[in-house]
Structure 1
Amino acid sequence: MASKREAKAPSIAAPSLAHRIDPDQARLDAATATFRMLSDPTRLHILWILAAGEADVSALTRACGASRTAVSQHLAKLRFTGLVETRRDGRRIIYRIRDGHLARLVREGLNHADHVVTGEPTHE
């Protein structure tokens, strides 16, 4: 027989990465807005870089090969739509992707693109 102490121990379940909800109009609109932000190659590249870790504008400019002005404008849009966040480190502004779901979406989108480009068979 279990002691009272053992019987009262809470069970800790890992949080689910998938939300099993039928999409209503608000969720469809929110997802469409996110996909719209992902539809630009430079923004997608920025998010792919940020999915791997934080970066400032200079690092993102070097990694993307886009102009500093273009990267800054894309970051402003991503920040305005809530897809990236910032923090200050001295005089530098550091950007990070805001959400693990978004990071996984970006990675999966580019993994899918790899299959399309290389012809590698898809996964189930």
Structure 2
Amino acid sequence: MEVKKVNNDYIDEASLIFKLLSNPNRLKMLVNLENKSMNVNELSNQLNMEQSAVSHQLSVLKKHQLVDANRNGKSIYYQLNDPHILDIVNEAVQHSSHVMGGKHHGE
């Protein structure tokens, strides 16, 4: 893939996205939200995390437009706001699997 000259502001924003994705719990949340909306309680149970920690991480993801929230009755459900962010996550996981498996590139 050819890397084109990119506006430095885009590079700065991309760097911020990688910082957001550097937190394993945020990655797990994004992956869990891939196929369905979930509320804090559901994510908390799924990830075995305290609800307050889940809420905090969701607010960070929402602030940076990676998730969105909708109220349904008394519950707030979160879903991916930008589904192609999972392309980045999946590529990173695939690369990790490749490296951890001791494979060389091209295998």
Q: State TM-score, norm by structure 1.
A: 0.74
Partner of 1:117: 100
Partner of 1:56: 39
Tell me how large the CA RMSD over aligned residues is.
2.0
Distance, in Å, in 2 between the alignment partners of 1:123 and 1:75 is: 37
SS at match of 2:91: helix
CA change 1:28–1:64 in 2 (3 A) is same
Instruction: Say which is worse superposed, 76-85 or 114-123, in terms of deviation.
Output: 114-123
Residue correspondences, number: 105
Structure 2: state its 5+ residue gaps: none
Assess if the C-alpha contact under 8 Å between 2:65 and 2:82 holds in 1.
no
Structure 1: state its 5+ residue gaps: 1-19
Distance, in Å, in 2 between the alignment partners of 1:82 and 1:70 is: 19
**Pairing 1:1-124 to 2, within 5 Å after superposition:** 22-120=5-103, 122=105
Distance, in Å, in 2 between the alignment partners of 1:87 and 1:63 is: 20
Assess if the C-alpha contact under 8 Å between 1:47 and 1:97 holds in 2.
yes
Q: State TM-score, norm by structure 2.
A: 0.84
